[in-house]
Copies of this chain bind each other. A is one copy, B any other.
Amino acid sequence: MSAKAYLEANKDRFLNELLDLLRIPSVSARSEHKADMLACAEAVKARLLEAGADTVTIYPTDGHPIVYGEKISDPTKPTVLVYGHYDVQPADPLELWHSGPFEPVIKDGKIFARGACDDKGQFYMHVKALECMRTEGEVPTNIKFLIEGEEEVGSPNLATFVKANKDLLKCDVILISDTAMISLDTPSIDVGVRGLTYVEVEVTGPNRDLHSGVYGGAVANPATMLCQMIANLHDENNHITIPGFYDDVLVATDAERAKMAEAPFDEAEFKADLGVAEVWGEKGYSTNERTGIRPTLEVNGIWGGYTGEGSKTVLPSKAFAKISCRLVPNQSSHKIEAMLMEHLQKIAPAGVQVVVRPHHGGEPYVTPIDSIPYQAAAAAIRDSFGKDPIPVRGGGSIPICALFEQELGVKIVFMGFGLDSDNLHSPNEKFNIENYYKGIETIPYFHKHFAEMMK
């Protein structure tokens, strides 16, 4: 039976298995979910074995465990390492979900659940693809699965694992489904991901909350000072003002920008989808360029003072913000982190103290489109979609990519089947069922083409 026919015959079961996986609240950022993380790792192991992996091992780390499995059919064949993650982002704000984040529901052909697309739905396509390929006879490649549990917190323990297990992870390409395509009608392949720097800022004014009448106007208010600092991070053209921030950015050529501009983009539809009257961003760049080839700085959270019901006339002692930057090729996460931390100290107004704490970061990454991995992925897309994919730069980050290339000496290819509108990291995350099935259909073509091209 062909892999595609087997998929057709097993669609309902493939869907139900994913729903079961989505019911496990594997939130890596929250310590109260430690047991859920273990349960999820065990479930991934069981599913991999059922799908036909020869061996699967759960490796403990200083944080959440790594699941590693493999199906080695012939040492002379090329080896594909599939990387994915079973952990998910926190689900809050819970009140904005239309259904429970860990009680998946299907509506209008979409699976709604935290992790539906990022990344349970996407890595699980590879597990099911293995099962489908086995019905065709011998799998054309050796396949290794590296499914970690800390991607959403910056993969703090994966680097150690990769460095210590280079032989185990030896491969010819790394295949990742943790990104999006433009649409099923306009398939695309991300040729890059942005890097990330993430810090938390604590601004302290007076040593205690004060009465805003008795002290207001005479003591620096840390909330106001934090706002002034954040306001200062962009200039009137929405350029980031941190000295040296853009120094290492590889400037795209006019030819590259012209090619990028070919990707379909409907600004009216973009604005309508988000409910905004205007787009926003760095002057001189299009929306796709702003999220693709330009670094950015966003406030991910801010808080301080009285935030409850009604009014409280307090001049707060402290105010906080979480701030992150997305980085583009040739920028260094560590360098930008140091720059950002130093700059926040430098612009701190007199009368307040500023402490900046780094969270996780990650380096940007780009896949050359003339490489065999990209060409194999493009051929696979042609087989299942009947048209060439458009190469695009993704805006998100997969922190471990640069390390993979450095330690394992191979290229990474991103075959993402999600959509930008899938509400990743947001309430009502979803994954279109059709995209899920299309991924399972396409992946076997990749293995076939990659094996042929590597001959």
Contacts and interface: CB of A to CB of B under 8 A. Distances in A.
Nearest to A208: B426
Contacts of A298: 212, 216-217, 221, 224, 315
Interface stretch (A5-13, A247-255, A279-287): A279-287
Contacts of A428: 208
Contact of A302 (B274, B296, B303): B303
Interface string A62-91: 000000000000000000000000000110
A375 interface: no
A394 B218 CA distance: 13
A307 B301 contact: yes
Contacts of A308: 29-30, 90, 92
Contacts of A96: 208-209, 317
B281 A214 contact: no
Given A208-B96, A274-B206, A424-B214, A299 B310 contact: no
Interface class of chain A by DSSP: loop
Interface string A351-375: 1110000011000000000000000
Given A281-B218, A311-B198, A314-B425, A276 B205 contact: yes
A29 B309 contact: yes
Given A208-B423, A227-B227, A351-B277, A217 B282 contact: yes
A59 interface: no
A45 interface: no
Contact of A89 (B312, B349, B352): B312
A132 interface: no
Nearest to A233: B224
B90 A312 contact: yes
A211 interface: yes
A155 to B, nearest CB: 12
A299 B219 contact: no
A298 to B, nearest CB: 5
A300 interface: yes
A227 B302 contact: yes
A154 interface: yes
A396 interface: yes
Nearest to A205: B276
Interface in A196-237: 196, 198, 200, 205-221, 223-224, 226-228, 230-234
Contacts of A210: 274, 425-426
A93 interface: yes
A420 B298 CA distance: 39
Given A300-B306, A426-B208, A215 B275 contact: no
Interface in A27-56: 29-31
19 contacts: A29-B308, A153-B310, A200-B311, A205-B276, A208-B427, A212-B296, A212-B425, A213-B396, A214-B291, A216-B298, A217-B282, A226-B302, A227-B299, A228-B230, A231-B232, A276-B352, A278-B350, A300-B314, A302-B304
Given A193-B213, A217-B295, A227-B227, 18 more contacts: A29-B309, A180-B214, A211-B395, A211-B426, A212-B298, A214-B396, A216-B298, A217-B294, A217-B395, A218-B287, A227-B230, A277-B350, A277-B353, A280-B349, A280-B350, A299-B305, A301-B304, A307-B322
